[in-house]
Structure formats: C-alpha cells, structure tokens
C-alpha cells in the first residue's frame, strides 16, 4: 500500500523512513513524499485511479496550506482518506480539519504508534 506524506520540512522524510523501516523493508508499505500541496496533487494525478491510499499532510505550509490541500483532495479524490498534522494542537485547526473532511488529526511530535493503528484500520498495514 502506498501512502503520501506532505510536509514542507524535508527532514520529515528521514523520520518517516526510520519509523516505518521494517514495514518498508517487508514491502508492507510504500511511502511517497511531497514537499508542497502542489507537488502532492501532481503525485495524485499521475495515475487514474491514484496509487496512493492515504494522505498525511502538515497544515502549516507555505503556498497551499494543508487545509487547502485537504479541500482539493476531497473534491478531486473523495475516496482517499486524509489525516492532518500540526505543531499546534489548537481547537481551531482541529475543527477546521475535521469539518473539512480530515479522517484524523495528529499533533507534532507525531505519535507513530497511533499513526500505525490508523493505517491498520484503513487496511494499509497488517
């Protein structure tokens, strides 16, 4: 299963690859990274239907915010679940994300065990 991580901070890629090292090595999970909302949409449009089964996006990004990306994904790819992440666990961002159709809302630092459980529920992990 392929998931897409969207975050403007490039070091996030190393963190996710490290935390899901076993799942990647066992071919249980494929992770693709986008460093902007625009890049994320380009990745999703590459194949019809998209290979990505789950999107995990930061909220605070330059250019297109994660909430704007969420709206676009929900319109163009309504079957792909999207979870949001923010360094700020404030109720305003949480409410905006959930009301816009986010599946889940995570705060930084990411609880990777919770994320693993979310991926299991979606069938993206065994």
* pTM recorded for the entire structure: 0.94
The answer to whether the CB of 111 falls within 8 A of the CB of 89 is: no
Q: Residue 78's CB: how many other CB atoms inside 10 A? A: 9
pLDDT band at 111 (very low <50, low <70, confident <90, very high): very high
* pLDDT tens column, 82-107: 999 998 878 888 999 999 999 999 99
Protein fold of 2-121: Rossmann fold (3.40.50)
pLDDT band at 124 (very low <50, low <70, confident <90, very high): low
Angle, helices 37-45 vs 66-76, to 10°: value is 20
Q: Where are the domains of the chain?
A: 2-121
DSSP string spanning 43-86? HHHSSSS-SEEEEEEES--SSS-HHHHHHHHHHH-TTS-EEEEE
The pLDDT value given to residue 126: 67
Q: Residue 115's CB: how many other CB atoms inside 10 A? A: 21
């Amino acid at each position: 299963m392929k998931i897409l991580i969207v975050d403007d901070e490039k070091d996030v890629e190393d963190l996710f690859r490290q935390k899901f090292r076993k799942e990647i090595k066992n071919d249980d999970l494929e992770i693709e990274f986008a460093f902007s909302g625009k890049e994320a949409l380009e990745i999703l449009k590459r194949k019809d239907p998209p290979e990505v089964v789950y999107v995990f996006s930061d909220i605070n990004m330059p250019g297109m915010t994660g909430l704007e990306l969420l709206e676009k994904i929900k319109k163009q790819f309504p079957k792909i679940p999207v979870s949001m992440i923010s360094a700020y666990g404030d109720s305003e961002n949480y409410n905006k994300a959930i009301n816009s159709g986010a599946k889940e809302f995570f705060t930084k630092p990411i609880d990777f065990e919770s994320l693993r459980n979310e991926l299991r529920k979606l069938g993206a992990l065994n």
